[in-house]
Amino acid sequence: MSRRYFGTDGVRGRVGEYPITPEFALRLGYAAGRVLAGGGGEASVVMGKDTRLSGYLLESALEAGLSAAGVSVRLLGPMPTPAIAYLTRAFHASAGIVISASHNPYYDNGIKFFAGNGRKLPDAVEEEIESWLDRPLVIVGPDKLGRASRLEDAKGRYIEFCKASFPNTLSLHGLRVVVDCAHGATYQVAPSVFSELGAEVFKIACMPDGLNINEDCGATHPQSLVAAVRTHRADIGIAFDGDGDRVIMVDGDGEIVDGDELIVMIARERLEQGQALTGVVGTLMSNMAMELAIKAMGLEFVRAKVGDRYVMAELDKRGWLLGGENSGHILCLDKTSTGDAIVASLQVLARLVRKQISLREERRHLRKFPQIMINVRVKDRVDPMMNEAIAMAVGQVEADLAGRGRVLLRASGTEPLIRVMVEGEDQCQVQVHVERLAELVRSSLA
Protein backbone atom coordinates (compact mmCIF):
# COMPACT_ATOMS: atom_id res chain seq x y z
CA MET A 1 0.00 0.00 0.00
CA SER A 2 1.42 3.41 -0.92
CA ARG A 3 1.03 6.10 1.73
CA ARG A 4 -0.98 9.14 0.67
CA TYR A 5 -0.11 11.48 3.52
CA PHE A 6 2.89 10.23 5.46
CA GLY A 7 6.24 11.21 3.97
CA THR A 8 9.69 10.43 5.31
CA ASP A 9 9.01 12.64 8.34
CA GLY A 10 5.29 12.46 9.02
CA VAL A 11 2.60 14.62 7.45
CA ARG A 12 3.79 18.08 6.47
CA GLY A 13 2.55 21.08 4.48
CA ARG A 14 1.43 24.70 4.53
CA VAL A 15 -0.99 25.60 7.32
CA GLY A 16 -4.56 25.97 6.06
CA GLU A 17 -3.89 23.89 2.96
CA TYR A 18 -4.91 20.25 2.99
CA PRO A 19 -3.78 18.17 4.83
CA ILE A 20 -2.54 20.70 7.43
CA THR A 21 -6.06 21.72 8.44
CA PRO A 22 -8.01 21.26 11.70
CA GLU A 23 -10.43 18.89 9.98
CA PHE A 24 -7.63 16.58 8.84
CA ALA A 25 -5.84 16.78 12.20
CA LEU A 26 -9.07 15.74 13.94
CA ARG A 27 -9.44 12.72 11.67
CA LEU A 28 -5.73 11.88 11.95
CA GLY A 29 -5.95 11.95 15.74
CA TYR A 30 -8.99 9.67 15.61
CA ALA A 31 -7.37 7.30 13.10
CA ALA A 32 -4.16 7.09 15.14
CA GLY A 33 -6.21 6.55 18.28
CA ARG A 34 -8.13 3.66 16.76
CA VAL A 35 -4.91 1.96 15.69
CA LEU A 36 -3.23 2.55 19.06
CA ALA A 37 -6.27 1.31 21.00
CA GLY A 38 -6.71 -1.68 18.71
CA GLY A 39 -4.57 -3.95 20.88
CA GLY A 40 -6.92 -3.62 23.84
CA GLY A 41 -6.19 -2.03 27.21
CA GLU A 42 -5.83 1.66 27.89
CA ALA A 43 -3.89 3.60 25.27
CA SER A 44 -2.18 6.93 25.91
CA VAL A 45 0.06 9.34 24.01
CA VAL A 46 2.35 12.22 24.92
CA MET A 47 2.07 15.21 22.60
CA GLY A 48 4.39 18.19 22.17
CA LYS A 49 4.97 20.92 19.64
CA ASP A 50 7.42 23.58 18.56
CA THR A 51 6.72 27.31 18.85
CA ARG A 52 4.64 27.92 15.71
CA LEU A 53 1.38 29.77 16.28
CA SER A 54 -0.46 27.05 14.33
CA GLY A 55 0.63 24.47 16.91
CA TYR A 56 -2.27 25.46 19.15
CA LEU A 57 -4.78 24.81 16.39
CA LEU A 58 -3.41 21.39 15.45
CA GLU A 59 -2.88 20.37 19.08
CA SER A 60 -6.54 20.97 19.94
CA ALA A 61 -7.79 19.09 16.87
CA LEU A 62 -5.52 16.10 17.46
CA GLU A 63 -6.49 16.00 21.12
CA ALA A 64 -10.19 15.91 20.20
CA GLY A 65 -9.66 13.11 17.69
CA LEU A 66 -7.64 11.01 20.13
CA SER A 67 -10.22 11.49 22.87
CA ALA A 68 -13.00 10.44 20.49
CA ALA A 69 -11.10 7.19 19.92
CA GLY A 70 -10.71 6.61 23.67
CA VAL A 71 -7.02 7.56 23.92
CA SER A 72 -5.73 9.77 26.75
CA VAL A 73 -3.23 12.55 26.08
CA ARG A 74 -0.43 14.10 28.13
CA LEU A 75 0.24 17.59 26.74
CA LEU A 76 3.88 18.72 26.94
CA GLY A 77 3.67 22.16 25.34
CA PRO A 78 6.69 23.46 23.39
CA MET A 79 9.35 20.76 23.57
CA PRO A 80 12.09 19.50 21.22
CA THR A 81 11.24 16.53 19.03
CA PRO A 82 13.82 14.27 20.76
CA ALA A 83 12.36 15.23 24.15
CA ILE A 84 9.02 13.81 23.05
CA ALA A 85 10.74 10.60 21.95
CA TYR A 86 12.36 10.33 25.39
CA LEU A 87 9.17 11.11 27.33
CA THR A 88 7.23 8.59 25.23
CA ARG A 89 9.60 5.93 26.55
CA ALA A 90 9.74 7.33 30.07
CA PHE A 91 5.95 7.24 30.48
CA HIS A 92 5.52 3.91 28.68
CA ALA A 93 3.08 5.68 26.39
CA SER A 94 1.55 3.94 23.39
CA ALA A 95 2.99 6.63 21.13
CA GLY A 96 4.35 10.16 20.98
CA ILE A 97 3.11 12.94 18.70
CA VAL A 98 5.16 15.92 17.56
CA ILE A 99 3.59 19.00 15.94
CA SER A 100 6.43 20.60 14.02
CA ALA A 101 7.81 21.37 10.58
CA SER A 102 11.42 21.27 11.81
CA HIS A 103 13.57 23.82 9.96
CA ASN A 104 10.74 25.11 7.71
CA PRO A 105 9.25 28.64 8.03
CA TYR A 106 6.41 29.39 10.46
CA TYR A 107 3.68 29.06 7.81
CA ASP A 108 4.41 25.34 7.45
CA ASN A 109 3.65 22.71 10.04
CA GLY A 110 3.56 18.96 10.36
CA ILE A 111 2.53 16.01 12.49
CA LYS A 112 4.80 13.05 13.15
CA PHE A 113 4.63 10.07 15.44
CA PHE A 114 6.94 8.03 17.64
CA ALA A 115 6.25 4.45 18.60
CA GLY A 116 6.31 3.44 22.25
CA ASN A 117 10.05 2.70 22.01
CA GLY A 118 10.83 6.29 20.99
CA ARG A 119 11.54 5.36 17.37
CA LYS A 120 9.61 6.58 14.34
CA LEU A 121 6.51 4.56 13.53
CA PRO A 122 7.07 1.58 11.21
CA ASP A 123 5.70 2.03 7.68
CA ALA A 124 3.08 -0.65 8.31
CA VAL A 125 1.61 1.26 11.26
CA GLU A 126 1.48 4.50 9.26
CA GLU A 127 -0.33 2.63 6.50
CA GLU A 128 -2.81 1.24 9.01
CA ILE A 129 -3.49 4.75 10.34
CA GLU A 130 -4.10 5.98 6.80
CA SER A 131 -6.58 3.14 6.25
CA TRP A 132 -8.75 4.61 9.03
CA LEU A 133 -8.83 8.14 7.64
CA ASP A 134 -11.73 7.50 5.26
CA ARG A 135 -13.82 5.52 7.72
CA PRO A 136 -16.70 7.09 9.65
CA LEU A 137 -15.67 8.82 12.86
CA VAL A 138 -17.57 6.85 15.49
CA ILE A 139 -17.01 8.24 18.98
CA VAL A 140 -16.53 5.79 21.83
CA GLY A 141 -19.03 5.82 24.69
CA PRO A 142 -19.09 8.84 27.01
CA ASP A 143 -17.46 6.79 29.75
CA LYS A 144 -14.65 5.64 27.43
CA LEU A 145 -13.49 9.02 26.13
CA GLY A 146 -9.80 9.78 26.48
CA ARG A 147 -8.67 12.25 29.12
CA ALA A 148 -6.27 15.15 28.62
CA SER A 149 -3.76 16.41 31.18
CA ARG A 150 -0.76 18.72 31.08
CA LEU A 151 2.64 17.45 32.18
CA GLU A 152 4.05 20.37 34.14
CA ASP A 153 7.56 19.03 34.75
CA ALA A 154 8.35 17.91 31.18
CA LYS A 155 11.05 20.57 30.80
CA GLY A 156 12.91 19.52 33.96
CA ARG A 157 12.74 15.83 33.12
CA TYR A 158 14.28 16.38 29.69
CA ILE A 159 16.99 18.71 31.00
CA GLU A 160 18.11 16.01 33.42
CA PHE A 161 18.04 13.40 30.65
CA CYS A 162 20.32 15.53 28.47
CA LYS A 163 22.72 16.25 31.32
CA ALA A 164 22.94 12.52 32.05
CA SER A 165 24.40 11.98 28.56
CA PHE A 166 27.44 14.09 29.57
CA PRO A 167 30.15 12.40 31.71
CA ASN A 168 29.59 13.19 35.38
CA THR A 169 33.36 13.46 35.86
CA LEU A 170 33.54 16.46 33.51
CA SER A 171 32.28 20.04 33.64
CA LEU A 172 31.75 22.89 31.18
CA HIS A 173 33.08 25.37 33.73
CA GLY A 174 35.14 28.08 32.05
CA LEU A 175 33.57 27.68 28.60
CA ARG A 176 31.86 30.67 26.99
CA VAL A 177 29.06 29.28 24.82
CA VAL A 178 26.61 31.06 22.52
CA VAL A 179 23.38 29.07 22.11
CA ASP A 180 21.07 29.80 19.15
CA CYS A 181 17.68 28.17 19.63
CA ALA A 182 16.13 29.37 16.34
CA HIS A 183 13.18 30.83 18.33
CA GLY A 184 12.11 27.19 18.41
CA ALA A 185 11.41 24.25 20.66
CA THR A 186 14.77 24.21 22.47
CA TYR A 187 14.48 27.76 23.81
CA GLN A 188 13.34 26.68 27.29
CA VAL A 189 15.74 23.78 27.77
CA ALA A 190 19.01 24.12 25.82
CA PRO A 191 20.41 27.19 27.66
CA SER A 192 19.61 25.53 30.99
CA VAL A 193 21.39 22.29 30.04
CA PHE A 194 24.65 24.05 29.23
CA SER A 195 24.53 26.52 32.12
CA GLU A 196 23.72 23.79 34.66
CA LEU A 197 26.76 21.88 33.41
CA GLY A 198 28.88 24.93 34.19
CA ALA A 199 29.14 26.94 30.96
CA GLU A 200 28.72 30.70 30.70
CA VAL A 201 25.82 30.89 28.23
CA PHE A 202 24.88 33.71 25.87
CA LYS A 203 21.43 33.19 24.36
CA ILE A 204 20.27 34.31 20.93
CA ALA A 205 17.04 33.55 19.04
CA CYS A 206 15.35 32.50 22.29
CA MET A 207 12.28 34.79 22.10
CA PRO A 208 9.66 32.98 20.00
CA ASP A 209 6.54 34.89 19.01
CA GLY A 210 4.88 32.12 17.00
CA LEU A 211 5.99 33.59 13.68
CA ASN A 212 9.79 33.93 13.89
CA ILE A 213 10.85 30.28 14.16
CA ASN A 214 13.96 29.60 11.99
CA GLU A 215 13.85 33.18 10.65
CA ASP A 216 17.46 34.11 9.81
CA CYS A 217 18.70 32.05 12.75
CA GLY A 218 19.31 28.52 13.90
CA ALA A 219 21.15 25.63 12.27
CA THR A 220 19.98 26.53 8.77
CA HIS A 221 21.03 30.21 9.08
CA PRO A 222 24.17 30.25 11.25
CA GLN A 223 25.36 33.73 10.25
CA SER A 224 23.81 35.28 13.38
CA LEU A 225 25.60 32.71 15.52
CA VAL A 226 28.92 33.48 13.82
CA ALA A 227 28.48 37.18 14.60
CA ALA A 228 27.47 36.48 18.22
CA VAL A 229 30.48 34.22 18.84
CA ARG A 230 32.78 36.98 17.66
CA THR A 231 30.92 39.69 19.62
CA HIS A 232 31.03 37.74 22.90
CA ARG A 233 34.50 36.32 22.23
CA ALA A 234 33.00 32.94 22.94
CA ASP A 235 34.82 29.62 22.78
CA ILE A 236 32.07 27.95 20.82
CA GLY A 237 28.64 28.53 19.28
CA ILE A 238 25.85 25.96 19.07
CA ALA A 239 22.83 26.35 16.78
CA PHE A 240 19.73 24.17 16.76
CA ASP A 241 16.87 24.06 14.26
CA GLY A 242 13.24 24.75 15.10
CA ASP A 243 12.44 21.35 16.57
CA GLY A 244 15.84 20.54 18.07
CA ASP A 245 16.94 17.50 16.10
CA ARG A 246 19.82 19.06 14.16
CA VAL A 247 22.88 20.95 15.33
CA ILE A 248 25.60 23.06 13.73
CA MET A 249 28.56 24.50 15.67
CA VAL A 250 30.84 27.50 15.26
CA ASP A 251 34.42 27.60 16.53
CA GLY A 252 36.10 30.52 18.30
CA ASP A 253 37.19 32.01 14.97
CA GLY A 254 33.61 32.07 13.73
CA GLU A 255 34.10 29.13 11.34
CA ILE A 256 31.09 26.85 10.81
CA VAL A 257 31.47 23.18 11.79
CA ASP A 258 28.88 20.88 10.16
CA GLY A 259 27.45 17.49 10.95
CA ASP A 260 30.13 15.53 9.07
CA GLU A 261 32.88 17.07 11.19
CA LEU A 262 30.94 16.62 14.43
CA ILE A 263 30.30 12.92 13.72
CA VAL A 264 34.03 12.32 13.14
CA MET A 265 34.79 13.98 16.50
CA ILE A 266 32.24 11.80 18.30
CA ALA A 267 33.59 8.65 16.62
CA ARG A 268 37.15 9.51 17.62
CA GLU A 269 36.07 10.11 21.21
CA ARG A 270 34.17 6.81 21.37
CA LEU A 271 37.24 4.90 20.19
CA GLU A 272 39.64 6.68 22.54
CA GLN A 273 37.31 5.89 25.44
CA GLY A 274 37.33 2.20 24.48
CA GLN A 275 33.65 2.09 23.59
CA ALA A 276 32.31 -0.43 21.09
CA LEU A 277 32.12 1.13 17.64
CA THR A 278 32.18 -0.96 14.47
CA GLY A 279 31.12 1.52 11.84
CA VAL A 280 29.46 4.83 11.03
CA VAL A 281 26.58 5.61 8.67
CA GLY A 282 26.63 8.78 6.57
CA THR A 283 24.57 9.76 3.54
CA LEU A 284 25.08 10.29 -0.16
CA MET A 285 25.92 13.91 0.65
CA SER A 286 28.50 13.19 3.38
CA ASN A 287 31.87 14.70 2.48
CA MET A 288 34.42 12.18 1.26
CA ALA A 289 36.94 13.52 3.77
CA MET A 290 34.58 12.22 6.46
CA GLU A 291 34.50 8.77 4.84
CA LEU A 292 38.30 8.62 4.62
CA ALA A 293 38.68 9.82 8.22
CA ILE A 294 36.28 7.17 9.51
CA LYS A 295 38.06 4.43 7.56
CA ALA A 296 41.44 5.68 8.81
CA MET A 297 40.19 4.90 12.33
CA GLY A 298 39.72 1.29 11.27
CA LEU A 299 35.93 1.62 11.12
CA GLU A 300 33.50 0.73 8.37
CA PHE A 301 31.59 3.50 6.60
CA VAL A 302 28.26 3.14 4.79
CA ARG A 303 26.23 5.73 2.91
CA ALA A 304 22.43 5.87 3.21
CA LYS A 305 19.95 7.93 1.22
CA VAL A 306 19.54 11.50 2.47
CA GLY A 307 17.21 11.59 5.49
CA ASP A 308 17.66 10.52 9.11
CA ARG A 309 15.02 7.83 8.60
CA TYR A 310 17.34 6.09 6.13
CA VAL A 311 20.37 6.58 8.36
CA MET A 312 18.45 4.92 11.19
CA ALA A 313 17.48 1.99 8.94
CA GLU A 314 21.14 1.38 8.05
CA LEU A 315 22.20 1.59 11.70
CA ASP A 316 19.51 -0.90 12.72
CA LYS A 317 20.43 -3.24 9.88
CA ARG A 318 24.04 -3.43 11.06
CA GLY A 319 23.55 -3.01 14.80
CA TRP A 320 25.68 0.17 14.74
CA LEU A 321 25.27 3.15 17.06
CA LEU A 322 26.53 6.29 15.32
CA GLY A 323 25.53 8.06 12.11
CA GLY A 324 24.03 11.18 10.65
CA GLU A 325 23.98 13.88 8.01
CA ASN A 326 26.08 16.92 7.20
CA SER A 327 22.99 19.03 7.92
CA GLY A 328 23.44 18.22 11.60
CA HIS A 329 21.06 15.32 12.16
CA ILE A 330 23.22 13.09 14.38
CA LEU A 331 22.14 9.75 15.82
CA CYS A 332 23.93 8.57 18.98
CA LEU A 333 21.95 5.42 19.66
CA ASP A 334 24.08 4.58 22.70
CA LYS A 335 22.56 7.68 24.33
CA THR A 336 19.01 7.98 22.98
CA SER A 337 16.58 6.53 20.46
CA THR A 338 16.49 9.30 17.85
CA GLY A 339 18.42 12.28 16.53
CA ASP A 340 18.93 14.68 19.45
CA ALA A 341 20.80 17.93 18.81
CA ILE A 342 21.44 18.77 22.47
CA VAL A 343 22.73 15.29 23.27
CA ALA A 344 24.92 15.25 20.14
CA SER A 345 26.44 18.63 21.00
CA LEU A 346 27.23 17.41 24.51
CA GLN A 347 29.18 14.46 23.07
CA VAL A 348 31.39 16.91 21.17
CA LEU A 349 31.82 19.16 24.21
CA ALA A 350 32.78 16.15 26.32
CA ARG A 351 35.66 15.45 23.94
CA LEU A 352 36.85 19.05 23.94
CA VAL A 353 36.77 19.25 27.74
CA ARG A 354 38.46 15.89 28.26
CA LYS A 355 41.23 16.71 25.77
CA GLN A 356 41.40 20.34 26.98
CA ILE A 357 41.40 21.60 23.40
CA SER A 358 39.27 24.05 21.45
CA LEU A 359 36.84 23.19 18.69
CA ARG A 360 39.19 25.05 16.36
CA GLU A 361 42.04 22.65 17.24
CA GLU A 362 39.90 19.52 17.07
CA ARG A 363 38.52 20.27 13.63
CA ARG A 364 42.04 20.47 12.16
CA HIS A 365 42.00 16.66 12.02
CA LEU A 366 39.52 16.82 9.10
CA ARG A 367 40.08 18.91 5.99
CA LYS A 368 36.87 18.73 4.00
CA PHE A 369 37.04 18.17 0.26
CA PRO A 370 35.62 20.84 -2.06
CA GLN A 371 32.13 19.72 -3.10
CA ILE A 372 30.30 21.49 -5.94
CA MET A 373 26.74 20.82 -7.09
CA ILE A 374 24.95 22.10 -10.19
CA ASN A 375 21.21 21.60 -10.69
CA VAL A 376 20.28 20.91 -14.32
CA ARG A 377 16.64 21.33 -15.33
CA VAL A 378 15.45 18.49 -17.58
CA LYS A 379 12.23 17.43 -19.31
CA ASP A 380 11.50 14.48 -17.06
CA ARG A 381 12.85 13.06 -13.81
CA VAL A 382 14.92 10.15 -15.08
CA ASP A 383 17.95 8.23 -13.92
CA PRO A 384 20.80 10.02 -15.71
CA MET A 385 23.04 6.97 -15.40
CA MET A 386 20.79 5.11 -17.85
CA ASN A 387 22.22 7.36 -20.56
CA GLU A 388 25.29 5.64 -22.02
CA ALA A 389 27.24 8.83 -22.79
CA ILE A 390 26.63 10.22 -19.29
CA ALA A 391 27.56 6.94 -17.61
CA MET A 392 30.79 6.79 -19.63
CA ALA A 393 31.70 10.38 -18.75
CA VAL A 394 31.07 9.72 -15.07
CA GLY A 395 33.37 6.70 -15.25
CA GLN A 396 36.11 8.84 -16.79
CA VAL A 397 35.80 11.48 -14.06
CA GLU A 398 35.91 8.85 -11.33
CA ALA A 399 39.05 7.37 -12.88
CA ASP A 400 40.63 10.82 -12.95
CA LEU A 401 39.78 11.36 -9.26
CA ALA A 402 41.57 8.05 -8.51
CA GLY A 403 39.70 7.16 -5.33
CA ARG A 404 40.17 10.64 -3.81
CA GLY A 405 36.85 12.05 -4.92
CA ARG A 406 33.27 11.22 -5.89
CA VAL A 407 30.68 11.85 -8.55
CA LEU A 408 26.98 11.79 -7.73
CA LEU A 409 24.17 12.29 -10.24
CA ARG A 410 20.66 11.96 -8.90
CA ALA A 411 17.20 13.03 -9.92
CA SER A 412 15.32 15.40 -7.61
CA GLY A 413 12.36 13.81 -5.90
CA THR A 414 10.18 16.91 -6.26
CA GLU A 415 11.30 18.78 -9.39
CA PRO A 416 12.44 17.95 -12.95
CA LEU A 417 16.08 18.46 -11.95
CA ILE A 418 19.23 16.38 -12.12
CA ARG A 419 21.63 17.21 -9.32
CA VAL A 420 25.22 16.92 -10.56
CA MET A 421 27.78 16.79 -7.74
CA VAL A 422 31.53 16.33 -7.94
CA GLU A 423 33.84 16.19 -4.94
CA GLY A 424 37.63 16.00 -4.76
CA GLU A 425 40.76 17.36 -3.18
CA ASP A 426 41.49 20.00 -5.83
CA GLN A 427 38.95 22.83 -6.17
CA CYS A 428 39.88 23.70 -9.76
CA GLN A 429 39.72 20.06 -10.87
CA VAL A 430 36.31 19.64 -9.23
CA GLN A 431 34.99 22.82 -10.89
CA VAL A 432 36.07 21.67 -14.35
CA HIS A 433 34.58 18.20 -13.94
CA VAL A 434 31.22 19.34 -12.54
CA GLU A 435 30.74 21.94 -15.28
CA ARG A 436 31.52 19.42 -18.04
CA LEU A 437 29.18 16.80 -16.59
CA ALA A 438 26.41 19.36 -16.08
CA GLU A 439 26.70 20.49 -19.70
CA LEU A 440 26.58 16.88 -20.90
CA VAL A 441 23.45 16.22 -18.82
CA ARG A 442 21.89 19.44 -20.17
CA SER A 443 22.59 18.56 -23.81
CA SER A 444 21.53 14.92 -23.41
CA LEU A 445 18.38 15.21 -21.25
CA ALA A 446 17.09 18.81 -21.34
CATH code given to domain 259-344: 3.40.120.10
Beta carbons of 330 and 308 less than 8 angstroms apart: no
Catalytic residue among 102, 165, 327, 345: 102
Does the structure show a pLDDT above 90 at 411? no
pLDDT at 382: 85
CATH homologous superfamily of domain 371-445?
Alpha-D-phosphohexomutase, C-terminal domain (3.30.310.50)
The CATH topology of domain 174-257 is Alpha-D-Glucose-1,6-Bisphosphate; Chain A, domain 3 (3.40.120)
User: How far apart are the C-alpha atoms of 154 and 138, rounded to whole Å?
Assistant: 32
pLDDT at 381: 78
pLDDT at 204: 98
Query: How many residues belong to the chain?
Result: 446
| Assigned architecture for domain 11-153 | 3-Layer(aba) Sandwich (3.40)
Give the pLDDT mean for 83-96: 97
Does the structure show a pLDDT above 80 at 38? no
Domain positions in the chain: 11-153, 174-257, 259-344, 371-445
Give the pLDDT mean for 142-147: 96
Using the CB atoms, write b or e for 129-162: b if 16+ within 10 Å. Answer: bbebbeeeeeebeeeebbeeeebeebbebbbebb
Q: What is the pLDDT of residues 48-64, one digit of tens each?
A: 999 999 999 999 999 99
pLDDT at 40: 65
pLDDT at 183: 98
Does the structure show a pLDDT above 80 at 406? yes
CA of residue 260 relative to chain centroid, distance: 13
User: Please, what is the average pLDDT of the chain?
Assistant: 95
pLDDT at 2: 64
Instruction: Output 365 or 178, whichever has higher pLDDT.
Output: 178
Angstrom CA distances, 193 to 153, 160, 171, 222, 337, stand at 15, 8, 12, 21, 19
Instruction: Output 286 or 39, whichever has higher pLDDT.
Output: 286
pLDDT at 146: 96
174-257 and 371-445 agree in CATH topology: no
- Whether residue 102 lies in the annotated active site: yes
